[in-house]
Structure 1
Amino acid sequence: MFNKGKELLKLCKEQNKKISEIVIEKEINDNKISYDELMENMKFVLDTMINSANSALDKEITSVSNLTGGDAKKLEDYKNEGNTICGNLINSAMAKALSTSEVNASMGRIVAAPTAGASGILPSAIITVKDKFNLSEEDMICGLFTAGGIGEIIAKNATISGAEGGCQAECGVASAMAAAAIVEMVGGDVDTALNAASFALINVMGLVCDPVAGLVEFPCALRNASGVINALVSSDLAMAGVKSLVPFDEVVDAMYRVGKAMPESLRETALGGIAATPTGEELKRRLL
């Protein structure tokens, strides 16, 4: 039905439909599933996301390795004190993203969106926007279908693997998915959604994957927190009318080429970047 952003754009314009509507039709046809079954499945995904984004806000959740944990609660408490630098919305979004990351590191249930290491970005984004604009559960579900469409295009034409493309392919793609979802949720059109997705990828192009001790904890969780802010910033840029000079499909291709050009040490091997610092190496020895 579509493999490229330009094909999705053409379908939306020809049929006067939103991205989510096109993706829903595709899922029904590809999986031979009814509309009601599909909505029930996505409702389960949404509920799982909401739970993971909130689980660590009022209690400390520690990773299996004991390397990380409790940061979501720290940020939520800091926000509730009412004297933050960036304000409640940004701090709340970061806390929710950290919460899902901590649930993931503790072997709890999360939704890989598109991967476990980047799983905090999309849930936080859609919850934050839903709360700010008093949107409905249906709006959130439509946002998830939009995000899925963008993620599918990137997976087909580039990669969502940190081992293949660095963290730009995980947190970057999650931010792009979230940015497009946000735009549709607040009433933006398909051109604007693709611009937002482009910005989110451009903003972190070249981001390496360097997990300390090879664990999906640090700096992964921090990049989930910054990743949701990337999505929010990118959606605002696009909604303001700022356009990407380079089309979405070309941005995706560029991201893939950049990932392939990265040395192996910066692609999830824990041999470079933060993981290769003296402290990173010491933590690895201590844990392993």
Structure 2
Amino acid sequence: MIKYTSIKELCDAATKRGIKISELCLEDQAEEMQLPKEELYAMMEKNFDVMVESVKKGNDPNLLSTSGLTGGEGAKMLRYSDRTGGGLSGSFMTRAIGRAMCVSNCNAAMGRIVATPTAGSCGILPGCLVSMYEDKGFSKRDVVMSIFTAGAFGMVIAQMASISGAEGGCQAECGSASGMAAAALVELMGGSPASCGDALGMSIINQMGLVCDPVAGLVEIPCIKRNVSGVVIALSSADMALAGIDLKIPVDECIAAMKSVGDSMSVNLKETAQGGLADTPTARALRKKVFGE
């Protein structure tokens, strides 16, 4: 059985057997849960279907969050992409970040989402994978299988560091989600298990130290926009790994460094809404608007 205590363990095991990390994870989970592999695959496929549905629900310009602070950001981005032919970033990128925002909008409006790994970072993996499915034409089965790789890497991060903003800052939420997405993207593109690990590490180092400072204590501002940066970092990290660019610092050391940074971070910067953007004059005024004095 896999211990999920290091990325190297997963990558080495998959490489030794000549299989993908997703295949290794599916086999391991089937053995541990005493369920057929196809039954577990079907469960994961339902999760992907929810991701697709949350993009569609969030793509409603009139959908407002329960607080009223946000709504329509994803719809605006997708329409901007269509109107400008992709804007400055290109059609695939702008549609991916638009989908990520749609999922975050769905979450803020109390819609159904898949927390990958958290509600605050829920748009990053769907933004990437739904785009690979709908815009790049990857098969649904391959996309669903890549989620097993993302999940396996997320399990390692959860055990060896944290996926909680309250414990490790936003680096633990959006940083982890971005790394999970980058690994899934590399696998989809035919990259090696080691390259998947490198992509995860590159995503983490690019969000090291990211604080969690939700305005009014709600996962809306700046969380929705940070899901966008998570998508961009995931895609760029995947491309760097696929290009053969060396991570230099082993991925498991990157995860350990993220934990160290999170442990040393002020409590004001870890989801308490007492520091960072949450402590600006405008943010304090928004908090009063939502909750009163």
Q: TM-score range by the shorter chain?
A: over 0.9
Query: Deviating runs (4+, > 4 A) in structure 1?
Result: none
Matches within 5 A, 1:101-180: 101-180=104-183
The residue type paired with residue 212 of structure 1 is: V
Distance 1:8 1:64 in 2: 41
Task: Tell me which moved more, 84-93 or 232-241.
Answer: 84-93
8 A contact 1:117–1:170 mirrored in 2 = yes
- Shift, 1:55, TM fit: 2.1
8 A contact 1:60–1:73 mirrored in 2 = no
Distance 2:132 2:185 in 1: 7
After superposition, give the CA deviation of every residue in 1:13-38 in whole Å (9 maximum; x if it has no partner): 22111100111011101211111210
- Shift, 1:58, TM fit: 4.5
Partner of 2:210: 207
Distance 2:32 2:219 in 1: 32
Residue of 230, 233, 236 corresponding to 1:233: 236
Partner of 2:184: 181
Distance 1:196 1:132 in 2: 22
The residue type paired with residue 29 of structure 1 is: E
Partner of 1:273: 276
The residue type paired with residue 58 of structure 2 is: A
- Shift, 1:89, TM fit: 1.1
**Secondary structure class of the residue paired with 2:114:** coil
Task: Tell me which moved more, 85-94 or 166-175.
Answer: 85-94
The residue type paired with residue 236 of structure 1 is: D
After superposition, give the CA deviation of every residue in 1:253-273 in whole Å (9 maximum; x if it has no partner): 000000111000000000000
Partner of 2:24: 22
Which sections of structure 2, spanning at least 5 residues, go unmatched? none
Q: How many residues are aligned here?
A: 288
Partner of 1:73: 75
- Shift, 1:169, TM fit: 0.2
The residue type paired with residue 119 of structure 1 is: C
- Shift, 1:6, TM fit: 1.4
Distance 1:277 1:257 in 2: 27
8 A contact 2:146–2:187 mirrored in 1 = yes
Distance 2:131 2:246 in 1: 24
Which sections of structure 1, spanning at least 5 residues, go unmatched? none
- Shift, 1:39, TM fit: 1.3
CA RMSD of aligned residues (A): 1.0
Partner of 1:219: 222
Distance 1:58 1:215 in 2: 20
Residue of 97, 100, 108 corresponding to 2:103: 100
Residue of 1, 4, 7 corresponding to 2:9: 7
- Shift, 1:127, TM fit: 1.6
Distance 1:252 1:213 in 2: 29
TM-score normalised by L of structure 2: 0.96
After superposition, give the CA deviation of every residue in 1:124-154 in whole Å (9 maximum; x if it has no partner): 1112223443210011111100100110110
8 A contact 1:166–1:267 mirrored in 2 = yes
8 A contact 2:48–2:144 mirrored in 1 = yes
Task: Tell me which moved more, 174-183 or 88-97.
Answer: 88-97
2:37 aligned with 1:56, yes or no? no
Distance 1:190 1:60 in 2: 42
2:204 aligned with 1:197, yes or no? no
Q: Percent identity?
A: 44
Partner of 1:44: 46
TM-score normalised by L of structure 1: 0.98
Distance 2:186 2:213 in 1: 31
